[in-house]
Amino acid sequence: MYEIPAPMLAKAAAAVPDSSKKPMLYEPKWDGFRGLVAWDGETLEIGSRGAKPLTRYFPELVEQLPRILPGPCLLDGEIVVATGPAGAQRLDWDALSQRIHPAASRVAKLSAETPAMFIAFDLLAEGEEDLQQHPFRERRERLERMLAGAASPLHLTRTTEDAELARRWLAEFEGAGLDGVVAKPLDDPYAPGKRTLIKVKHARTADVVALGYRIHKSGSGVGSLLVGLYGDDGVLRQVGGVAAWSDAMRAQLVEDLAPLVERDESGEAVVGEGERSRFSGAKDVSFVRLRPERVLEVRYDQLEGARFRHTVQFERWRPDRDAHSCTYEQLDTVAGYDLADVLA
């Protein structure tokens, strides 16, 4: 079996970059679970971006991909689920995320009802040849040859070297549930775990870790969910909060988060003291502490220091993400700009 590496990652950018200084290949950004498919001719395994293997959650891919692949290989790509009527299908994140379930019977049922597809976009090994040090240009050409006769559920992502076309994709493909465009340097080798690619998304988002929650002012349900990110030193830091839940969601969150509540020897929930600011005054900032295991994606506008400037908005749960992969490195880096130029 191939050794599955950490996937190559991307840094966020505000706009699709051109390729005048560095040759680029542009791809749609698929909204799914990152997956590395390792097929050695006998066994198929699916690695993930985090520490959680995805093999057991997608039995239909484990069954069908060996029949389609022409030989042993190691593929990088995205696992997606599409729903909707013919002619109006779109990617369905909720249907995909339901596949991360502990019950094999549930996984089997969903694999039949909402089968997954694998969108391949890189070839890391073919036969006994490791291709990771080869330029992406060559890896892509070999991937195209390998998958020339591939059939669903295995697909080859489309690409272009035309930045203007990629900008059109950014606007148009959103209607199909895709969430942006990725620009990949054509002459670069594969760089496991390194953010050498460029992603442009429709919104500024981050994957964060649930640290705890405060009870709503009504005395019932979750009022706000505290979230954090890991720093370069490996320390998990509180970076903000998610609020504005509906009444039903506030109550549901208490139930959903109960297994993660930290408890003392007597079984009582552990209460932490939240960070105070000059705006909090005498306000109660205590919160119910959670084991830092659950990941969620949030929308935010900007950072102030090491924290989100405003309350962030809940986007979705990320059951495919490992909490320790939620670092500051994923956040947008804003280029410096002189205030005098703004005022002029």
Neighbours of 314 (CB within 10 A): 17
Query: What are the distances in angstroms from CA 277 to CA 6, 282, 283?
Result: 39, 10, 10
CA 253 – CA 292 distance, rounded (Å):
15
193 phi and psi angles, rounded to 5 deg: 75, -5
In terms of Cα–Cα distance, which of 215, 275, 285 is closest to 250? 215
Q: Which residue's structure tokens are 């295991």?
A: 293
Write down the catalytic residue from 11, 21, 29, 217: 29
CA 23 – CA 25 distance, rounded (Å):
7
CA 318 – CA 203 distance, rounded (Å):
17
User: Alpha helices of the chain — where are they, by DSSP H?
Assistant: 59-68, 93-97, 104-113, 136-146, 163-172, 247-257, 339-343
What is the DSSP-derived secondary structure letter of residue 327? B
Dihedral of alpha carbons 166, 171, 177, 182, sign:
positive
CA 22 – CA 24 distance, rounded (Å):
6
Query: What are the distances in angstroms from CA 226 to CA 171, 199, 292, 319, 343?
Result: 33, 27, 11, 18, 36
Check: CB of residue 166 under 8 Å from CB of residue 183: yes
144 phi and psi angles, rounded to 5 deg: -65, -40
Instruction: Look up 11 and say whether it is catalytic.
Output: no
Check: CB of residue 136 under 8 Å from CB of residue 99: no
Q: How far does the chain reach from its first CA to its final CA, in angstroms? A: 62
**Residues identified as active-site:** 29
